[in-house]
Amino acid sequence: MLDRNRAQNRQWRRSFALIATATTLLLLMTLPASAISYGEPDGSDHPFVGSIVVNIPGEGLFQWCSGTLIAANVFLTASHCTAPLDAVVESYPGAQVLVTFDPTISEGGTFYTGEWFTNPDYGGQGGASDTGDVAVIVLDTAPGITPAQLPTAGMLDELKDSQVLKDTRFTAVGYGSVRESNRTGFQGILDNLDRNRVEQGFHSLTPAWLTLPMTYSTGDGGTCYGDSGGPHFVHLDGVETDIVVAITVTGDAPCKASDKTYRMDTESARSFLAGFVPLP
C-alpha cells in the first residue's frame, strides 16, 4: 500500500488504487532487491520489525505498512495504517489482514492474524500539531520474538536539554518502497518486499514530532511509501539501541528530503499505548 501520509488526499488515492489494480507478489518478486531511501537490506538484524500485509483472494498479497513488536503479541504501527482496514476487509470479501516478521515477504512466509486498534484521538482535537497517529495490532499468537522497547517519558526532550540530540543518530527500518538515487522524482521510487534499514541524523523536535533529514550527499537516508508505522531506533552513546523513539508517519512526497516522525515518548502517545503494554 503506497500509504505514507505525505499528502493526505494523495495517500488515499494511491493506496486504494494499488488494491484496485492488483499487482500481485508474484509479479513484484521479479524486481531486483533494494532498500529504503539510500539504505540497505536488513536481513535478520531487526527481527522485531514486521510488515502488515493484506491478502485479497484471487489477487495476492499486498505490503501495506510497517511496524514493531513491542510486547509478546503487541505490534506497534500508525493509525493511518489501521484506520482504513475495516473498509478494505468489507470491500473485499475474504480479505485477511496479516503481520509477518520475515526478512522478505513471500507467499510461503509466516503470517499472524490479530485485532487492530486505531487511536481514538487520531485526527482529533490535536490537529496538525498532534495527530495521534499511533495504533497497535494485538496478535492472536505471540511470534516468540524478543520485542523492541518503548522510550521513557520525555526521552527526546532530555536528550535535547543535554545538548546531545543534535548529534544523535537514528536507524529507520521498514518494508516500504525504495529509492537508490536522488536524481529522479517519483519514477525513482521502486516496489520492494524486503525489510530494509538506513541511518539518519537529527533535524528538529517539536512536542509531537521528530523530523529527520534525508541528505543523500552525507549518507542520511529515510523512509518511503509502505514504511508508515515503522520504527526509528535511537542511538545512545554512539550505539544503536532497540528503543523505538518515533514511528514513520509523513515526509516529502518523492521520499528525497525529510522524514516527519511521530514521537513515542510523549504523554499523548503513552496514554494510548498504556492500554496495551507496560510503559517504561
Question: Which CATH architecture does the domain made up of 1-29+36-280 adopt?
Answer: Beta Barrel (2.40)
pLDDT for res 94: 94
Q: What is the C-alpha separation between 73 and 80, in angstroms, rounded? A: 21
Give the number of C-alpha atoms closer than 13 A to the C-alpha of residue 49, restricted to the C-beta side.
Answer: 32
Average pLDDT, the chain: 83
Does residue 245 register a pLDDT over 80?
yes
Instruction: Write down the pTM of the prediction.
Output: 0.86
pLDDT for res 87: 93
Does residue 32 register a pLDDT over 50?
no
Q: What is the C-alpha separation between 111 and 235, in angstroms, rounded? A: 30
- pLDDT tens for residues 150-161? 999 999 999 999
Under the banding of pLDDT at 50, 70 and 90, the label for residue 41 is confident
pLDDT for res 180: 58
Q: What is the C-alpha separation between 78 and 3, in angstroms, rounded? A: 11
Rounded to an integer, the average pLDDT of 217-241 is 88
133-137, 191-195, 203-207, 211-215: the lowest-pLDDT one:
191-195
- pLDDT tens for residues 142-185? 999 999 999 999 999 999 999 999 999 999 999 976 665 556 65
Among residues 143, 2, 175, which one has the least CA distance to residue 84? 2
Task: Please tell me the total number of residues recorded for the chain in this structure.
Answer: 280
Please answer whether residues 176 and 229 qualify as being in contact, where contact means their C-beta atoms are separated by less than 8 angstroms: no
Does residue 12 register a pLDDT over 70?
no
